[in-house]
């Protein structure tokens, strides 16, 4: 007799874990929440691109490309908005407000990517291994992101 029948309604006895729940395939991932902070200060090209790469470091390679495309699209969208604001918004208060809204939206977008990595990163942290060092890639990403955003904003400003 199958004694499981005593709990017929139970989903406690059905498997929950998937391939992503196994603790393998890690390559010193970065902390997703640190990358959200990086995005907050230096924009989505900085934190978002590292978050996209972090999918690979977390052993989730299939999510790298969609994340890269999302980051590229978000970068173009936000720099286009900045370029438009320089061409059309002449009141400083309005421009500042747009910058704040952009910053909030970029941070939220990075937060969404980090949210997709949180369970996998938790499994990694439980394996007691050390996360990847973020200082050098963070500095490089911040510098590249700042340069890219200035260039794209100027480009879009001239187009609008």
Q: Of 40, 36, 61, 63, which Cα lies nearest the Cα of 50? A: 36
Give the residue ranges of DSSP H helices in the chain.
32-42, 44-57, 64-88, 92-126, 135-159
Contacting another protein (CB under 8 A), which of 2, 91, 92, 135? 2
Whose CA is closest to 35, among 129, 103, 110?
Answer: 110
Per-residue binding letters, 122-141, with another protein (x by CB under 8 A): xx--xx--------------
Distance from first CA to last CA of the chain, Å, rounded? 75
* Element housing 22 (H / E): none
Q: Judged by CB, which is closer to another protein: 24, or 130?
A: 24
Q: Out of 17, 92, 130, 135, which residue is the one contacting another protein (CB under 8 A)?
A: 17
Measured distance CA(10)–CA(13) in Å, rounded: 6
Site for another protein, residues 64 to 103, rule: CB under 8 A: 100
Q: Is 29 in the site for another protein (CB under 8 A)?
A: no
- The site that binds another protein (CB under 8 A) totals a number of residues, namely 29
Stretch that binds another protein, among 10-18, 68-76, 79-87, 147-155 (CB under 8 A): 10-18
Site residues (CB under 8 A) for another protein?
2-4, 6-7, 12-19, 21-24, 36, 40, 100, 104, 107, 111, 118-119, 122-123, 126-127
């Amino acid at each position: 007799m199958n004694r499981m029948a005593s709990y017929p309604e139970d989903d406690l006895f059905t498997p929950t874990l998937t391939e992503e729940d196994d603790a393998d395939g890690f390559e010193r991932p970065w902390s997703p929440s640190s990358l959200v902070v990086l995005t907050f200060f230096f924009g989505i090209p900085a934190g978002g691109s590292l978050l996209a790469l972090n999918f690979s470091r977390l052993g989730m390679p299939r999510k790298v490309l969609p994340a890269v495309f999302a980051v590229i699209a978000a970068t173009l969208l936000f720099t286009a908005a900045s370029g438009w604001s320089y061409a059309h918004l002449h009141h400083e208060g309005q421009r500042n407000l747009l910058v704040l809204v952009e910053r909030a939206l970029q941070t939220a977008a990075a937060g969404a990517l980090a949210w997709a990595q949180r369970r996998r990163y938790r499994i990694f942290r439980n394996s007691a291994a050390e996360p990847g060092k973020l200082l050098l890639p963070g500095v490089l990403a911040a510098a590249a992101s700042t340069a890219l955003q200035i260039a794209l904003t100027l480009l879009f400003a001239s187009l609008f």
